[in-house]
């Protein structure tokens, strides 16, 4: 990949896409193209076809997807499967038709069976049943892996699929209804701290509501008060977190230095499970995570675990041996990463 190669980043405003764009600009890539959702709807087959025929990108990073936390996945099941299948079918197929030299497809560690042995290696894919709450999303992402793998095997393309663990960082979704756990904890605990310190104007500003009565109503729905903050589930599930800028770094490392042929063993009779896990190899419980966020924010109240809300998968630590062997390692430790995201959140 040359510094002036034409590179299309799909999803450049999202958590990972924005980190990839920043990383590539810092590294001196000069010919990066991207479109907002309004300019190009990736669900629209004809629009994607026209875009690829006009632009002819040489490299494609497919970081556009419909994503969300455990409840969003569980409620908007149809949207998660339909939109993700459409986006990836359109982009991968047009990449093939327009002779894209290399494509990077981003998935998620939720592709693995619910009860996978820990840490979860790439070979656990399709060994048993998925976690129910995110089954439609996971099936779409599995289809994306298989699509990349199948085009590589049938047509000799060079597509790489990466499966990150739970990600966090700047430009994340902080909407309490649809976000993942880390941005939700940061926002809920920050709001509770503001209430505790009687900074009511700041609460109104954060929520974008008209008055404090509206703010209180909204916060009650999410169990946020001056004295306590509601955390979903038992607090026992364990999760692994990777900083979005580390994820971006891993993606560019693979694009620059590795090819599809590096993702499997040459002696394998059946070429499968060619995707690559990206993570830190360390996890912690949601209870430990909540305590950590509480300490970083400096909130004095209590945490309350609402067991009416779902836990989801209990264990989801991924095995990063394959990526370790390819020569990449994460840098940002969780404690420092949360401090940075909290500062970013405050600055917005």
Where is the binding site for substrate, in residues?
188, 232, 239, 311
Q: Mark whether 34 is an active-site residue.
A: no
239 lies in the site for ligand GFB, by CB under 6 A:
yes
Cβ contacts of 86 within 8 Å, gap of 6 or more: 42, 43, 45
Q: How far is the CB of 69 from ligand GFB (least distance, A)?
A: 3
- Asked whether the beta carbons of 283 and 290 are under 8 A apart, the reply is no
| Interacting positions 147-176 with ligand GFB (CB under 6 A) | 166
Cβ contacts of 222 within 8 Å, gap of 6 or more: 176, 188, 230
Q: How far is the CB of 73 from ligand GFB (least distance, A)?
A: 4
Other beta carbons within 10 angstroms of residue 224's beta carbon come to 24
First to last CA, the chain: 35
Which one of the listed residues 112, 137, 159, 330 is annotated catalytic?
Answer: 137
Residue from 14, 119, 233, 279 in contact with ligand GFB (CB under 6 A): 233
Q: How far is the CB of 23 from ligand GFB (least distance, A)?
A: 21
Say how far apart CA 85 and CA 52 lie, in whole Å.
18
| Interacting positions 92-151 with ligand GFB (CB under 6 A) | 108, 110, 133-134, 137
Tokens of 227: 């004295």
With respect to ligand GFB, which residue has the nearer C-beta, 57 or 119? 119
Q: How far is the CB of 51 from ligand GFB (least distance, A)?
A: 27
279 lies in the site for ligand GFB, by CB under 6 A:
no
- Asked whether the beta carbons of 318 and 109 are under 8 A apart, the reply is yes
- Nearest in space to 309 (alpha carbons), one of 210, 219, 177, 196: 177
Catalytic positions: 137
Residues that bind ligand GFB (CB under 6 A): 69-70, 73, 108, 110, 133-134, 137, 166, 179-181, 184, 231-233, 237, 239, 286, 309-312
């Amino acid at each position: 990949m040359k510094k002036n190669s034409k590179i299309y980043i799909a999803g450049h405003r999202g958590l990972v896409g924005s980190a990839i764009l920043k990383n590539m600009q810092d590294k001196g890539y000069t010919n990066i193209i991207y479109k907002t959702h309004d300019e190009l709807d990736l669900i629209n087959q004809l629009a994607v076809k026209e875009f690829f025929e006009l632009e002819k990108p040489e490299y494609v990073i497919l970081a556009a997807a419909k994503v969300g936390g455990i409840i969003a996945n569980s409620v908007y099941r149809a949207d998660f499967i339909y939109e993700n299948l459409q986006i990836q079918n359109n982009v991968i197929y047009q990449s093939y038709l327009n002779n894209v030299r290399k494509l990077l497809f981003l998935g998620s560690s939720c592709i693995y069976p619910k009860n996978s042995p820990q840490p979860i290696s790439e070979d656990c894919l399709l060994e048993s049943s998925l976690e129910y709450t995110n089954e439609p999303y996971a099936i779409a992402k599995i289809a994306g892996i298989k699509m990349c793998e199948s085009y590589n095997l049938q047509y000799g393309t060079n597509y790489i699929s990466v499966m990150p663990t739970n990600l966090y960082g700047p430009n994340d979704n902080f909407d309490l209804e649809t976000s993942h756990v880390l941005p939700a904890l940061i926002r809920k605990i920050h709001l509770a701290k503001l209430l505790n310190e009687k900074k009511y104007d700041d609460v109104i500003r954060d929520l974008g509501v008209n008055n404090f009565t509206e703010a209180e109503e909204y916060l009650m729905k999410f169990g946020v008060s001056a004295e306590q903050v509601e955390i979903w589930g038992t607090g026992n599930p364990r999760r692994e977190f990777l900083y979005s800028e580390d994820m971006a770094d891993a993606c560019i490392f693979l694009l620059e230095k590795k090819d599809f042929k590096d993702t499997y063993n040459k002696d394998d009779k059946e070429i499968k499970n060619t995707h690559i896990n990206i993570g830190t190899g360390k996890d912690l419980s949601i209870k430990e995570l909540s305590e950590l966020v509480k300490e970083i924010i400096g909130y004095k109240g209590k945490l309350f675990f609402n067991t009416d809300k779902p836990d989801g998968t209990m264990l989801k630590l991924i095995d990063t041996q394959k990526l370790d062997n390819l020569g990449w390692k994460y840098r940002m430790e969780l404690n420092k990463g949360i401090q940075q995201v909290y500062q970013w959140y405050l600055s917005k």
